[in-house]
Structure 1
Amino acid sequence: MQEIIARMRAKKQDEGFTLIELLVVVVIIGVLVAIAVPVYLNYRQGAADKSAQSDVRGAVSAVEQFYTDNGNAYPAADVTVDNSAGATSSKELATGSAQKFTVSDKTTLQYHLSTDKLSYKLCAVNAGGSKKYYLYDSSKGGSVAASTAITTANFATCG
């Protein structure tokens, strides 16, 4: 009988974790969270920047389709699509046009026709991203790239 009581006492002493073991686990979890949160936020900013780039690419397609459908003429009026508040997501290139600019959440996109009416610029920025401005210049062609020449002050003309 004493052997059974001794085993029960030994069992009671072995149950659970010590305070030190629990503190070590909490510290390890804290370190992992401290590493993971900034990485996650960087991924979100990168995704927002990619959505602004994608919106510019989509707008290039819409402008070129408009050009083809309207006797080789680009839309005459500048167009701004501001979806920074999430209210408006698309806007016609011109009155009655089938082509529209569609933008992602928190993105502002600007279309600007050059004075000679032979080329145009498209630029966009996403408020949820790194605040980089992305530009496409039809006179140069190429791909959509980040532009350091564009600021809030000259966004209406895409730099």
Structure 2
Amino acid sequence: GLSDYFSDDALENPNATHVVTGIMWGANVAATFEQVVEDHEQLQTIEGSLSVVLKCLPISGDAKLNLENKDNSKFENLQISFSGDILINECPQSIKDVMNVLKSVPDRIKPLNEGKGQQLVFVLYPLKRMAEIFKHELQITRMIKEVSHLVVMRIENMFEDI
């Protein structure tokens, strides 16, 4: 069973507290858009336009970006920075470039860990509960029982001497 994959030493190690029972794989990527604006109204206009453009774009193999010239002019001075778990040849310079990079993420993580990408989240389970599942009595529990048994025997001996 599952207990064959666990070492008693791991269950007894006082420094070990949990076991990894699951790993979520993938990649984290982020694009940051910055632009200097002159007033709050311009800020709201750019935020709104950028939000609409990004929400309307599907990230799939057949995604198409149709920015009309009037919309595109709003983003001429947009500074784009990009970070993440994938390597890219050059930083995207436009919203279209960002979307192309995002679409390519699944292909870019294929060489990493057999296509799984990076470890993003580890699911942990307490070793104490694992020991209970395997009906493994932990050494500390055995020691407490042994000490308790010795104490009971001493008390019995004291009463017998009285």
- TM-score normalised by length of structure 1: 0.26
**Greater length-normalized contact order (CA 8 Å, ≥ 6 residues apart):** 2
Greater helix percent: which structure? 2
- TM-score normalised by length of structure 2: 0.26
